[in-house]
């Protein structure tokens, strides 16, 4: 509430931000933020074919396989979420 | 002086009427000047009799049959009961009507001598009044007129709203029921049947209803300080000896009824200030209206309190000992307090009360809640605001109560259904919303069983609203679920009313749901198709209307669903006459556009015969429908131009192109629209040829109608079809009608302009005549005529130039120039606009009068305050400055510059914009120095708008003459120690950088020091404007190698991110965003990372906001810049980004 009051002119901006995945807020945990970073990294690699083939050469794998693995990794790139602390 | 002239008296007094008026006012001390407007705000007093029929509806309790059967109980008051009641009601209605008829007959016979034209003698009147007031007649009895027996009946038994209270609130036509002896005089709690009929009037009321009159000033209130002494008290006070009780004189009747019934709400209030803007409160404050409380114990102060409210809230108006009350009574009072707060409270009070009542809805229970809410909604003096709030309460409560609401469905419907036919759109929407929620809460089966009895109600009003309510149910629960029921209702054998309502439901569904009916179109059409052959005319008509609505909703799809009804419809139009024929035609009109072009011509041929026959009709409604159908026929693909020309046009023109049609506004429009549609098929020449002679008709409205049609036809189809002979007639007619017009409107002017422009070069032969007309009219003595002539010049200038008649143009130009002394501003504006139009087409060099004469003439006119004049003048001057500035001496331009400053204050944006642009043109031709000086000096003025416009003008000068001419001057001016000037300079600079874009790269370094100063200023606005400059600068120089200075500015902008003023923070955020573009997201990320996990939440919030903007702007580009956080890995969570660590 307080932040909304402070940015009255930009409240809509906050709401707009909240509608997108990957955006954060003051209470975001380390795990959540880093998961977003990892997903962005993976999707960036998949989305840039030269980078993908570079990784494929480094790994000695087929491009398709690397792509597949990257895509699969996006599900939980940093492992399962840590147990919530009360 | 003639003998019958009024005699002159030597003393004068006020006219007799005035004196009488004052005397009347003096007599009537309680005159309330607000009463009149108050009654307008009341919904009931505004609405028609039809709308107010809602007051005569009765609601019955609809027991929750589902719940009861689940619990294995016997259901009472269910569907069967409702149907029984409904039949009883119908029978009652019939009997009542029969009695009424009989009485009327008797009265008419008996009172035949009573002549209604003149006032009958008093005795006779009284007799008549007595006669009229006998029970059972329709005359409404004023309920506040003393009539003890009735008053007693009305006493309210603890919140049984459906029975006594409702009737108390809303006097009914069916008064007879009250007078009937109750069949069963047992206590109300034991009454097994819930019907209103056989319930005894409550025997022991715990609280009496307070008649409104009790609140009138001067009325003896019963409170402990001011009441009658009883005989016992008197005995105690007075000595027993020496006194005797005198019997009252014969014939004495106490003036005021012993107030034993009136437990009048009296609260001990001292002096208090009236709050609220409500008329009632204001009137009370002025001592005009009855003295009403605004402070209620346990409620606090209210915005207003109406006399009528007292009767509903009587229980909470007096102070009670709460310990003596039962739980239910406490609950009841709690609800009443909340409702009173919601209805009459101030917004904050209302809000909390609304939340409380919503939260506690289930606790209170449906019964107690609706017993209180619904009677309030039936109050006759209800106002829009109150209704809105109460409806809102119902809406909120419904959500919470869910299926608990079932027993009250009918009661709620009775109150809410009228909203569906309210003339206020928002009321209709609210009503729809409630009924939709209600049906979701109660379920389809319950809704149907509750509303079924009303479908064949004797009163048309009830059926109408029920049909609408059903359509809302259908849209809430889906058409398919309602279809079986609809099918059954539409085929009802028992009464035509049921069929009628069923079909009406379908119509309403189509109207409300629009194209959403498409998936169920066939089913809906099949549902009602047999209605076209119904034996009842009303049912047939309604069926046709429903089909029309369905076809309109389905357009342009779904013709196959209508297959079954085509034949009956087309056969029907041969069988029917009057209203039902109109409905059938309407249905056909809407079905035709759906048809395949191959078949449509056959159907149109069939219907045309009837249409042409009906062209002759005198019925207005029929005329409109016929015109509409003709329009729809003409718009279909399948009909050939040949057919229209041969079969429709002759009769159409004979019937509709007559003077009479031009008189009625709606007919006028419909005829014009239809004719234009026909013209699309039959061509311009055909239509224009038929009506062109009427341009010379003697009736002006008719000429206008012709002109409007020609304008529309020519505008959409052009004039290439028009042959030489028609052209002559057309131009001749147009000139004639333009000259002969007496009313001032746009139609003739538009027509003239459109036709002449469409003809183009073909008007050349007529130009001399047209121009001489204009010249002649420019000298007319009527200002309006002169104005029109000038306007016409504006429209014709292009065509005259096209025809090569420069001679005429220069002649017009000269005459207009001579007219510049015009005194009427509207006319002057038009004249200047016309001069501008001529200057536009001939160009500055050929302009006659020469520009050097024209411009000095305009300078004084700039001072004219009239908007139209200002706008026309500034446009002309701007044009001259743009195209022919060199023809005018520089001194003249400077003079204009000074005048232009005044125009920066104009209200109209267009004028300000034109003025600002003119500065640019002038600066371009004169060189920027002088103009800039004028503008910079103008930054010192007080008026903000003028300063803002000056800054924009400076920026425009910079744009047109190059930034190097302006930026040094601005930087120099910034050193002035005056706040307004410095802000102005900053603003100007921000516009400059916005306009010049990439050119700013050359100036970035030169403004850095000034920006340093501004960004570190204590003044908030300085920093805000400086941030805006940084934004424009950064965006301008992106990719041009100014990163070093931009980084420097970034460091100065960044600390401002904690600003809280909305405009400042907005500007700072924008600057940061712009920096992302110039410096790249990586740099920005390094700034943001500092605070994302800062211990202070306020810091984190700000940084995350910036991070989010950054992320949304460049998420992909951020990937390489995220910090390596592998060291944070713990347990299963590995945070290393391995793919980025690989290399070949």
The answer to whether position B298 is within a domain reads: no
- Residues with Cβ within 8 Å of B343's Cβ and at least 6 positions away in sequence, in order, are B309, B376, B386, B389, B390
| Mean pLDDT score, B264-288 | 46
The answer to whether position B1099 is within a domain reads: yes
The answer to whether position B1114 is within a domain reads: yes
The answer to whether position B872 is within a domain reads: no
Share of chain B above pLDDT 70, in %: 80
- Residues with Cβ within 8 Å of A80's Cβ and at least 6 positions away in sequence, in order, are B1132, B1133
Please answer yes or no on whether B1104 and A41 come within 8 Å at the CB atom.
no
Share of chain B above pLDDT 90, in %: 48
* pLDDT higher than threshold 60 for residue B1043: yes
What residues of chain A lie within 8 A of the CB of B1119, using their CB?
37, 40-41, 44
For residue B669, give both structure tokens. 């429009």
Q: Is B675 exposed, middle or buried (0-12, 13-18, 19+ CB in 10 A)?
A: buried
pLDDT in tens, B577-613: 888 999 999 999 999 999 998 889 889 988 999 999 9
Please answer yes or no on whether A9 and B1062 come within 8 Å at the CB atom.
yes
pLDDT in tens, B373-401: 998 888 888 888 889 999 999 999 988 88
Check if A8 contacts B (Cβ < 8 Å): yes
Comparing B1011 with B344, which gets the higher pLDDT? B1011
pLDDT in tens, B88-131: 877 887 888 888 888 888 887 765 545 444 454 565 556 555 65
Please answer yes or no on whether A6 and B1060 come within 8 Å at the CB atom.
yes
| B157-171, B453-467, B769-783, B921-935: least confident range | B157-171
Give the phi and the psi of residue B42 in degrees, each rounded to 5: -70, 135
Please answer yes or no on whether A42 and B1101 come within 8 Å at the CB atom.
no
| B58-67, B554-563, B837-846, B1059-1068: least confident range | B58-67
Count Cβ neighbours within 10 Å for each residue of B381-420 and write b for 16 or more, e otherwise.
bbbeebbebbbbbbbbbbebbeebbbbbbbbbbbbbbbbb
- 3-state DSSP assignment of residue B896: helix
Please answer yes or no on whether B1128 and A55 come within 8 Å at the CB atom.
no
* pLDDT higher than threshold 50 for residue B491: yes
Read out DSSP for B777-802?
Answer: HHT-SSHHHHHHHHHHHHHHHHHHHH
Please answer yes or no on whether A82 and B1108 come within 8 Å at the CB atom.
no
d(C-alpha B1014, C-alpha B990), whole Å: 12
| B194-198, B584-588, B909-913: least confident range | B194-198
Minimum CA–CA partner of B1128 in chain A: A30
pLDDT band at B1029 (very low <50, low <70, confident <90, very high): very high
pLDDT band at B984 (very low <50, low <70, confident <90, very high): very high
| B26-40, B423-437, B870-884, B940-954: least confident range | B26-40
Interface test with A, best of B1061, B1108, B1124 (most A CBs within 10 A): B1108
The interface pTM score, or ipTM, of the predicted complex is 0.92
Interface test with B, best of A26, A50, A53, A80 (most B CBs within 10 A): A26
The answer to whether position B452 is within a domain reads: no
Minimum CA–CA partner of B1093 in chain A: A26
Spatial contact of B568 and B533, defined as CB atoms under 8 Å apart: yes
Spatial contact of B994 and B952, defined as CB atoms under 8 Å apart: no
Look at chain A and count its residues: 86
> What pLDDT sits at residue B217?
41
Spatial contact of B1015 and B1051, defined as CB atoms under 8 Å apart: no
Minimum CA–CA partner of B1144 in chain A: A58
CA distances from A58 to A61, A68, B323 (A): 8, 16, 86
Minimum CA–CA partner of B1069 in chain A: A10
The answer to whether position B1126 is within a domain reads: yes
pLDDT in tens, B32-42: 656 666 656 67
Distance from CA of residue B366 to its chain's centroid? 34
- For B74-180, where are the alpha helices, taking DSSP H only? 79-110, 122-132, 148-153, 166-169, 176-179
Containing domain of residue B1017, as a range? 1007-1143
For residue B508, give both structure tokens. 């309403």
Interface test with B, best of A41, A67, A70, A80 (most B CBs within 10 A): A41
Quick count: other Cβ atoms within 10 Å of Cβ B318?
Answer: 15
DSSP state at residue B519:
G
Q: How many domains does chain B have?
A: 1
DSSP state at residue B815:
H
> What pLDDT sits at residue B159?
43
Q: Is B179 exposed, middle or buried (0-12, 13-18, 19+ CB in 10 A)?
A: exposed
> Number of Cβ pairs closer than 8 Å across A and B?
96
Residue B426, min C-alpha distance to chain A (Å): 27
Quick count: other Cβ atoms within 10 Å of Cβ B647?
Answer: 17
d(C-alpha B266, C-alpha B119), whole Å: 45
| B112-126, B267-281, B1024-1038: least confident range | B267-281
Residue A86, min C-alpha distance to chain B (Å): 19
CA distances from B1081 to A37, B112, B405, B1067, B1117 (A): 15, 98, 58, 19, 7
d(C-alpha B463, C-alpha B454), whole Å: 6
How much is the mean pLDDT over chain B? 82
Query: Can you give the pTM of this predicted structure?
Result: 0.63
pLDDT in tens, A12-65: 677 777 788 899 988 899 999 999 999 999 999 999 999 999 999 999 999 999
CATH number for position B1126: 1.25.10.10
| Mean pLDDT score, B412-429 | 91
Strand partners, B1133: B1130
Q: Could you say which of B1065, B1112, B1115 has the minimum Cβ distance to residue A40?
A: B1115
The answer to whether position B214 is within a domain reads: no
> What pLDDT sits at residue B183?
47
Quick count: other Cβ atoms within 10 Å of Cβ A17?
Answer: 20
* pLDDT higher than threshold 70 for residue B30: no
Q: Could you say which of A44, A47, A54 has the minimum Cβ distance to residue B1144?
A: A54
Quick count: other Cβ atoms within 10 Å of Cβ B1109?
Answer: 22
Strand partners, B295: B301
Interface test with B, best of A5, A11, A12, A24 (most B CBs within 10 A): A24
Distance from CA of residue B914 to its chain's centroid? 35
pLDDT in tens, B745-793: 889 999 999 999 999 999 999 999 999 999 999 998 899 999 999 999 9
- For B683-699, where are the alpha helices, taking DSSP H only? 684-691
Q: Three-state secondary structure along B275-306?
A: CCCCHHHHHHHCCCCCCCCCEECCCEECCCCC
The answer to whether position B456 is within a domain reads: no
Pairing of strands B300-301, B295-296: antiparallel
- Residues with Cβ within 8 Å of A56's Cβ and at least 6 positions away in sequence, in order, are A62, A63, A65, A66
Strand partners, B296: B300
B-contacting residues in A 18-47 (Cβ below 8 Å): 20, 22-26, 28, 30-31, 33-34, 37-38, 40-42, 44-45, 47
């Amino acid at each position: 509430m307080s932040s909304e009051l402070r940015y009255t002119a930009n409240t809509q901006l906050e709401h707009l931000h909240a509608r997108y995945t990957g955006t954060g807020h003051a209470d975001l945990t380390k795990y959540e933020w880093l998961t977003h970073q990892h997903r962005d990294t993976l999707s960036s690699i998949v989305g840039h074919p030269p980078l993908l083939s570079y990784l494929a050469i480094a790994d000695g794998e087929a491009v398709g396989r690397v792509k597949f693995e990257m895509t699969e990794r996006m599900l939980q790139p940093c492992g399962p979420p840590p147990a919530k602390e009360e | 002086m003639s003998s019958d002239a009024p005699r002159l008296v030597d003393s004068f007094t006020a006219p007799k009427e005035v004196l009488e008026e004052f005397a009347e006012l003096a007599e009537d001390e309680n005159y309330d000047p607000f009463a009149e407007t108050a009654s307008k705000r009341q919904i009931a007093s505004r609405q028609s009799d039809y709308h107010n029929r809602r007051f005569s509806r009765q609601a019955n309790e609809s027991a929750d049959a589902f719940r009861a059967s689940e619990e294995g109980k016997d259901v009472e008051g269910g569907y069967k009961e409702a149907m029984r009641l409904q039949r009883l009601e119908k029978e009652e209605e019939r009997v009542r009507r029969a009695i009424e008829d009989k009485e009327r007959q008797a009265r008419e016979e008996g009172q035949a001598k009573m002549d209604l034209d003149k006032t009958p003698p008093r005795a006779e009147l009284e007799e008549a009044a007595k006669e009229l007031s006998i029970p059972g007649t329709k005359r409404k009895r004023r309920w506040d007129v003393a009539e003890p027996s009735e008053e007693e009946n009305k006493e309210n038994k603890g919140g049984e709203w459906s029975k006594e209270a409702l009737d108390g609130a809303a006097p009914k036509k069916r008064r007879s029921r009250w007078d009937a002896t109750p069949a069963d005089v047992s206590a109300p709690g034991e009454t097994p049947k819930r019907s209103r009929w056989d319930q005894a009037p409550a025997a022991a009321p715990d609280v009496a209803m307070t008649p409104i009159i009790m609140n009138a000033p001067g009325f003896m209130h019963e409170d402990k300080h001011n009441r009658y002494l009883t005989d016992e008290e008197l005995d105690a006070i007075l000595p027993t000896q020496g006194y005797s009780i005198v019997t009252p004189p014969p014939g004495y009747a106490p003036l005021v009824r012993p107030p034993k019934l009136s437990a009048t709400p009296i609260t001990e209030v001292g002096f208090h200030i009236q709050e609220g803007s409500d008329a009632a409160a204001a009137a009370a404050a002025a001592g005009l209206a009855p003295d009403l409380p605004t402070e209620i114990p346990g409620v606090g102060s209210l915005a207003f309190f109406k006399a009528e409210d007292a009767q509903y809230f009587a229980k909470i108006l007096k102070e009670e000992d709460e310990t003596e009350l039962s739980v239910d009574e406490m609950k009841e009072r709690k609800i009443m307090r909340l409702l009173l707060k919601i209805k009459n409270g101030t917004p904050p009070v209302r809000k909390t009360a609304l939340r409380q009542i919503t939260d506690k809805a289930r606790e209170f229970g449906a019964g107690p809640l609706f017993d209180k809410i619904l009677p309030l909604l039936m109050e006759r003096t209800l106002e829009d605001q109150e209704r809105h709030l109460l409806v809102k309460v119902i809406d909120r409560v419904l959500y919470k109560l869910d299926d608990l609401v079932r027993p009250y469905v009918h009661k709620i419907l009775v109150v809410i259904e009228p909203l569906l036919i309210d003339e206020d759109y928002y009321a209709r929407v609210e009503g729809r919303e409630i009924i939709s929620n209600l049906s979701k809460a109660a379920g389809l089966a319950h809704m149907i069983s509750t509303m079924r009895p009303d479908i064949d109600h004797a009163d048309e009003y009830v059926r109408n609203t029920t049909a609408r309510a059903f359509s809302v149910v259908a849209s809430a629960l889906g058409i398919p679920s309602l279809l079986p029921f609809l099918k059954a209702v539409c085929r009802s054998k028992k009464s035509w009313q049921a069929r009628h309502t069923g079909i009406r439901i379908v119509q309403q569904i189509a109207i409300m749901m629009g194209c959403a009916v498409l998936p169920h179109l066939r089913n809906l059409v099949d549902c009602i198709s047999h209605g076209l052959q119904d034996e009842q005319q009303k049912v047939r008509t309604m069926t046709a209307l429903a089909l029309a609505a369905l076809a309109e909703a389905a357009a342009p799809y779904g013709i196959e669903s209508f297959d079954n009804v085509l034949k009956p419809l087309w056969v029907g139009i041969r069988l029917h006459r009057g209203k039902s024929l109109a409905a059938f035609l309407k249905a056909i009109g809407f079905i035709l556009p759906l048809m395949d072009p191959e078949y449509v011509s056959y159907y149109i041929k069939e219907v045309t015969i009837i249409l042409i026959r009906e062209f002759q009709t005198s019925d207005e409604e029929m005329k409109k429908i016929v015109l509409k159908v003709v329009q729809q026929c003409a718009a279909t693909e399948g009909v050939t131009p040949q057919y229209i020309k041969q079969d429709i046009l002759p009769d159409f023109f004979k019937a509709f192109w007559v003077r009479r049609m031009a008189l009625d506004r709606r007919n006028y429009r419909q005829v014009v629209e239809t004719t234009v549609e026909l013209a699309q098929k039959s061509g311009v020449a055909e239509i224009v040829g038929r009506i062109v002679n009427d341009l010379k008709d003697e009736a002006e409205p008719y000429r206008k109608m012709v002109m409007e049609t020609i304008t529309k036809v020519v505008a959409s189809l052009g004039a290439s079809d028009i042959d030489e002979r028609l052209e002559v007639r057309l131009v001749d007619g147009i000139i004639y009608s333009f000259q002969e017009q007496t009313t001032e409107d746009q139609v003739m002017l538009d027509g003239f302009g459109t036709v002449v422009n469409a003809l183009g070069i073909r008007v050349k032969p007529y130009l001399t005549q047209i121009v001489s007309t204009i010249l002649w009219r420019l000298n007319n003595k009527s200002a309006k005529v002169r104005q029109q002539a000038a306007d016409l010049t504006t429209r014709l200038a292009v065509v005259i130039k096209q025809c090569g008649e420069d001679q005429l143009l220069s002649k017009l130009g000269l005459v207009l120039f001579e007219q510049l002394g015009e005194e009427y501003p509207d006319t002057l504006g038009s004249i200047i606009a016309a001069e501008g139009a001529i200057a536009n087409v001939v160009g500055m060099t050929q302009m006659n009068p020469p520009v050097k004469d024209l411009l000095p003439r305009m300078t004084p006119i700039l001072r004219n305050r009239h908007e139209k004049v200002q706008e026309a003048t500034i446009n002309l001057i701007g044009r001259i400055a743009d195209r022919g500035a060199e023809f005018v001496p520089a001194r003249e331009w400077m003079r204009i510059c000074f005048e232009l400053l005044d125009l920066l204050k104009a209200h109209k944006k267009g004028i300000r914009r034109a003025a600002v642009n003119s500065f640019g043109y002038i600066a371009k031709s004169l060189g920027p120095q002088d103009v800039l000086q004028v503008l910079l000096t103008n930054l010192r003025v007080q008026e903000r708008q003028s300063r803002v416009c000056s800054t924009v003008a400076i920026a425009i000068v910079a744009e047109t003459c190059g930034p190097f001419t302006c930026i040094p001057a601005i930087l120099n001016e910034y050193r002035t120690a005056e706040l307004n000037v410095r802000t102005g300079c900053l603003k100007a600079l921000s516009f400059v950088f916005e306009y010049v874009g990439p050119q700013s790269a050359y100036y970035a370094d030169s403004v850095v020091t000034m920006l340093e100063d501004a960004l570190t200023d204590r003044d908030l606005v300085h920093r805000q404007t400086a941030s805006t400059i940084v934004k424009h600068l950064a965006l301008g120089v992106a990719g041009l190698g100014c990163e070093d200075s931009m980084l420097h500015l970034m460091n100065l902008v960044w600390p401002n991110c904690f600003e809280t003023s909305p405009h400042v923070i907005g500007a700072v955020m924008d600057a940061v965003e712009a920096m992302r573009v110039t410096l790249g997201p990586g740099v920005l990320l390094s700034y943001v990372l500092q605070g994302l996990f800062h211990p202070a939440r306020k810091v984190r919030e700000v940084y995350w906001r910036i991070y989010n903007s950054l992320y949304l702007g460049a998420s992909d580009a951020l990937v390489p810049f995220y910090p390596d956080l592998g060291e944070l890995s713990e347990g299963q969570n590995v945070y290393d980004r391995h793919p980025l660590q690989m290399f070949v």
